[in-house]
Amino acid sequence: MNTISRTTKTFTLIFCFSFFSNFTNLSCRPEPLDEETLTLAFLYFYFIDQELKNSFEPNNTKETAYCLDDTYKDPSSLASISSTIYPREDIDYFKVSFRNQKISLSHFTSHSKSFHILLESDSAILYDSRNPEAANVFIESNQLVQIPIDGETYEARTILIKDLNFVFLKLLHNESASFPSSGRSYPIFLKNDSPSITDTSNFDFFRLTGEFQPCPK
């Protein structure tokens, strides 16, 4: 299942929920939903949610890593995907190919309390959130930055990778963190732009910035 189909299903979900909410009221004035309509709506939400949760699986090895790109988006836009990590069981690998041998990863430092975050090549660990200051020949820069959001400032780390054509983003939960049994969703943002160590634009969780190569079809 590709990212376009997931996006399409999300819009379909919104449309269908709106339809369920209004199909008994042709004048479009809000009215209470009957029990059968609510049941249908909740079932639809449930099955779409389950499909989205599993749409990237299996991706627990480098060989099965889910390929990311945002070529279906306008180059100036900020694309996003979301997956689900399951506590004490799941490992998520994502593969990103890029031009000019440069890409950056940004994440809030607070997220390393819940997730173990790694950047890897095909044979080595480039960045490890459990040892964030460790040097590596492929790391051009590794800095803490301050991200302003709604009048508050949050600390984030940006790692700029050089001299590679692709990287793996590996995510797994921290053993000490508490997760709901149903799993916890997280977004990955893809910014199609030249990586900048000083980029403080708003993002929600993980952000990869680079000139992405399209995934194999």
CB of 205 closer than 8 Å to CB of 189: yes
Cα separation, 176 vs 159, whole angstroms:
25
What pLDDT is attached to residue 74? 59
CATH code, 66-210: 2.60.120
What is the predicted pLDDT for the residue at 135?
Answer: 92
The length of the chain is 217
Alpha-carbon span 70 to 106, nearest angstrom: 17
How is the chain classified by DSSP, letter by letter?
--HHHHHHHHHHHHHHHHHHHHTT-TT----PPPHHHHHHHHHHHHHHHHHHHHTT-S-SSSTTPEEE--TTS-TTSEEEEEEEE-TTT-EEEEEEEBSTTEEEEEEEGGGGGTEEEEEE-SSSEEEETTSTT---TTEEEEEEEEEEETTEEEEEEEEEEES-SEEEEEEEE-TTS---TT-EEEEEEEEES---TT-----SSEEEEE-BPPPP-
| Tens-digit pLDDT profile for residues 112-133 | 888 999 999 999 999 999 999 9
* pLDDT (0 to 100) of residue 47: 59
Task: Sort strands 91-97 and 184-192 into parallel, antiparallel or unpaired.
Answer: unpaired
**Tens of pLDDT, residues 80-115:** 787 778 776 788 999 999 999 999 999 999 988 889
The answer on pLDDT for 66 being more than 50 is yes
Whether residue 204 has pLDDT greater than 80: no
- pLDDT digit string, tens, across residues 151-192: 899 999 999 999 999 999 999 988 888 877 777 778 888 888
Tens-place pLDDT, residues 6-37: 444 444 444 444 444 444 444 444 566 677 77
Domain residue ranges in the chain: 3-54, 66-210
